[in-house]
Chain A
Amino acid sequence: MTVIEARGLRKAFGATIALDSLNLRVDEGRILGLIGPNGAGKSTALNAILGLTEYQGELRVLGRDPWLERDQLMRDICFISDVAVLPRWMRVSQSLDYVAGVHPRFDRAKAEGFLAKTDIKRASRVRELSKGMVAQLHLALVMAIDARLLVLDEPTLGLDILYRKQFYDSLLNDYFDRTRTILLTTHQVEDVQYVLTDLMFINRGRIVLDCSMEEFESRYVELTVNPAQLATARALKPIRERQLLGRSLLLFDLKLDLVDRQRLAALGEVRTPSISDLFVALLADSPGVKPSAAPGVTQ
């Protein structure tokens, strides 16, 4: 079943085009990572999907028009925009009361169960919690909602590696059940490489890459080339070359049919590249993308 379907999705802020005829289709049970540099249009796309911004073009989320039916849609969608949005004045107990009060699909016992595994006290106000605890609280609230689509926009921004790992572990182990769908954006792509089922690169409002992780793993190969065979490897037209500790690393797209994996294995050590390596290969030379804007480079 299709959860999100966008055709010709377009959004401009004055002269700046945030989404440029975007076509997107996300099926049920997928975990899609929407990766792009700052200003690529990720948040605008998510905002359109969540009914937070107007758009041109066709967009259906769970069969509804998000702009016109936001409040009904929010019964089946949850989203965490980043860790800073829980109201700072709110007590933990009040957040449970409120969500239980307004959300027909919220299971309070489940949220209490998640919170019991943390150090979060019910009487604490959000402003008294650490960033990591706020993320835990938000995740506990969201995971206790029986939603069909979860949208995460930079959910682990500013969290240390332990909280980030815990966040995604909880998501996979306690939430994702293959009937739910998760759409997430993050700059910390290393964290999600093994979480995603699908990968999408977006730049300047357009989709640059759209593939499943299986396809990603079979299609892209990074070769740490033996110095003596560098010239041979280069002749096979890698899509990117970089240097690391005095060795040359060449990235190949096997779909171009210029080379196969066995041939590359004979020239050095082959491995699946990281998402950030591919991102840099595909987008670093694009106009408007600075190296610091690449995911995984600064965060």
Chain B
Amino acid sequence: MNTPLNAAPESPLEPQRIAPAPVSPTRPLYWSVRRELWENRSIYIALLAASAVYLIGYTISLFWVPRGMHGMGADESTPLIVQLAMPYAHAQMLLALTAFLVGIFYSLDALHGERRDRSILFWKSLPVSDLTTVIAKASVPLVILPLLVLVIAVSLQIVMRIESAVVLWLSRASTANPWAPPFFEMQLVFLYSLVVMALWHAPLYMWMLLVSGWPRRATFLWAVFPPLALAVIEYIAFHTTYLATMLHSRLLGFDALAFDMVDKNGVPIDPHFIPLAQLAPARFLSSPGLWLGLLFAALCLAGAVKLRRYQGPI
């Protein structure tokens, strides 16, 4: 460094102010979501891995299917169409469960990871607001994961149906038609289920997101232990289980609200094949539990924005 400033080049670069390109408000959000997908490849790898595992198992099972399908219909308690739809439904459930777990662990790390590796200083050096960043992170479990699950589940089901049709045609052992369960109806019902689950689980994800912005370590314990401890205290103190029931309902209570599980004749519906007629969106959308949950989610989201503003590297 032997160049004194007063001997610095007179015009190293002529001042060339770049007129700022007009930025649409959604552009930073779009790039923030892309950043999340770059950083958290587990979002799609886990879903693809679950699909691959299921497909391998299903493909092996197909060698036994002709014989199995021979017996289909013999079990009169389960309609043939339900038996045919069962593997597709299991695949959908597996993907939905995988997405739920990925969503929970993603949310628990969402605001923690960038503080842990100090990259928060890099992200904050760019003109992206805390609100945009937190919304991008919230969109991963609420929008991105359900969309990915839908696309992967539809593709997986198409592959499964084609595989089954080929095996059955080659073996000529059964007249069962793997395309019998209506394809579009199943996908529509699954899309509805994904939307319902995202809305119902939103407070869980947003709670995890909030907690991820706060402790220095052990975000999982901080997120899970306090509600469980409160439930235990409630039980010991009052011998009641309101909180535990509420937590249980928050995990699994959506299906009783979003679906009519008996048909108009009072016959129970098999959860493996739910016809479109059994969806109950009006009841789901008018349930206080949904709106209270969403209010809680919105408060957690606002808290997460605030935390990100105040928090720096750990």
Answer yes or no: B229 CB below 8 A from chain A CBs.
Answer: no
Cβ–Cβ < 8 Å partners of A70 in chain B = 124, 129
Cβ-neighbour of B5 out of A31, A54, A80, A107 (below 8 A): A31
Cβ–Cβ < 8 Å partners of A74 in chain B = 124-128
Cβ-neighbour of B126 out of A103, A146, A173, A196 (below 8 A): A103
Answer yes or no: A213 CB below 8 A from chain B CBs.
Answer: yes
Query: Which B residue's beta carbon lies closest to that of A176?
Result: B12
Interface residues of A in 68-82 (CB under 8 A from B): 70-75, 77-81
Contact A102 B16, beta carbon cutoff 8 Å? no
Contact B30 A101, beta carbon cutoff 8 Å? yes
Complex Cα distance, B23 from A192, in Å, reads 36
Query: Which B residue's beta carbon lies closest to that of A67?
Result: B309
Complex Cα distance, B118 from A86, in Å, reads 8
Complex Cα distance, B119 from A138, in Å, reads 12
Query: Which B residue's beta carbon lies closest to that of A79?
Result: B125
Q: Mark B91-129, 1 if CB is under 8 A from A, else 0.
A: 000000000000000000000001001111110111111
Contact A87 B1, beta carbon cutoff 8 Å? no
Complex Cα distance, B138 from A129, in Å, reads 31
Cβ–Cβ < 8 Å partners of B16 in chain A = 146
Answer yes or no: A85 CB below 8 A from chain B CBs.
Answer: yes
Cβ-neighbour of B127 out of A84, A103, A172 (below 8 A): A103
Cβ-neighbour of A87 out of B18, B22, B117, B310 (below 8 A): B117
Cβ-neighbour of A107 out of B14, B18, B117, B126 (below 8 A): B18
Cβ-neighbour of A52 out of B13, B18, B20, B124 (below 8 A): B124
Which one of B34-42, B60-68, B163-171 is at the A interface? B34-42
Answer yes or no: B265 CB below 8 A from chain A CBs.
Answer: no
Complex Cα distance, B39 from A91, in Å, reads 10
Contact B15 A86, beta carbon cutoff 8 Å? no
Contact A98 B12, beta carbon cutoff 8 Å? no
Cβ–Cβ < 8 Å partners of B126 in chain A = 74, 99, 102-103
Which of B21, B127, B128 has the largest number of chain A CB atoms within 10 A? B127
Answer yes or no: A119 CB below 8 A from chain B CBs.
Answer: no
Which bracket fits the contact residues of B?
35 or more
Q: Mark A82-105, 1 if CB is under 8 A from B, else 0.
A: 001111111100100111011111
Contact A172 B125, beta carbon cutoff 8 Å? no
With A52-B124, A79-B125, A194-B2 known as contacts, the answer to whether A175 contacts B12 (CB < 8 A) is yes
* Chain A interfacial residues counted at CB < 8 A: 57
Contact B118 A75, beta carbon cutoff 8 Å? no
With A52-B312, A177-B12, A213-B5 known as contacts, the answer to whether A104 contacts B21 (CB < 8 A) is yes
Contact A173 B12, beta carbon cutoff 8 Å? yes
Cβ–Cβ < 8 Å partners of B127 in chain A = 71-75, 102-104
Cβ–Cβ < 8 Å partners of B21 in chain A = 104-105
Answer yes or no: A197 CB below 8 A from chain B CBs.
Answer: yes
Cβ-neighbour of A98 out of B23, B31, B124, B129 (below 8 A): B31
Query: Which B residue's beta carbon lies closest to that of A191?
Result: B1
Contact B1 A88, beta carbon cutoff 8 Å? no
Complex Cα distance, B16 from A194, in Å, reads 25
Cβ-neighbour of B118 out of A52, A79, A84, A90 (below 8 A): A84
Cβ–Cβ < 8 Å partners of A195 in chain B = 1, 5
Contact B18 A193, beta carbon cutoff 8 Å? no
The smallest beta-carbon distance between B193 and chain A, in angstroms, is: 33
Cβ-neighbour of A104 out of B13, B20, B32, B34 (below 8 A): B20
Query: Which B residue's beta carbon lies closest to that of A87?
Result: B119
Answer yes or no: A58 CB below 8 A from chain B CBs.
Answer: no
The smallest beta-carbon distance between A268 and chain B, in angstroms, is: 24
Complex Cα distance, B8 from A177, in Å, reads 10
Answer yes or no: A165 CB below 8 A from chain B CBs.
Answer: yes
Complex Cα distance, B12 from A31, in Å, reads 15
Query: Which B residue's beta carbon lies closest to that of A75?
Result: B127
Complex Cα distance, B96 from A32, in Å, reads 55
Answer yes or no: A38 CB below 8 A from chain B CBs.
Answer: no
Complex Cα distance, B122 from A86, in Å, reads 6
Complex Cα distance, B28 from A23, in Å, reads 35
Cβ-neighbour of B128 out of A71, A78, A90 (below 8 A): A71
Complex Cα distance, B132 from A169, in Å, reads 36
Complex Cα distance, B274 from A174, in Å, reads 66
List the 9 closest pairs (A to B, CB-CB), nearest first.
Answer: A101-B31, A104-B20, A87-B119, A71-B129, A74-B127, A146-B18, A81-B121, A85-B121, A75-B127
23 contacts between A and B (CB under 8 A): A52-B121, A52-B312, A53-B312, A70-B124, A74-B124, A74-B126, A79-B125, A81-B121, A85-B122, A86-B119, A87-B39, A90-B38, A90-B39, A98-B34, A101-B31, A102-B31, A104-B22, A104-B127, A165-B1, A174-B13, A177-B11, A195-B1, A196-B5
Besides the known contacts A146-B16, A172-B8, 15 further A-B residue pairs in the complex with CB atoms under 8 A apart: A75-B127, A79-B125, A89-B38, A89-B39, A98-B34, A104-B22, A104-B127, A138-B122, A169-B1, A172-B9, A176-B8, A177-B11, A194-B1, A194-B2, A195-B1
Report A's interface with B, CB cutoff 8 A.
Answer: 31, 47, 50, 52-54, 70-75, 77-81, 84-91, 94, 97-99, 101-105, 107, 138, 146, 165, 168-169, 172-179, 190-197, 213
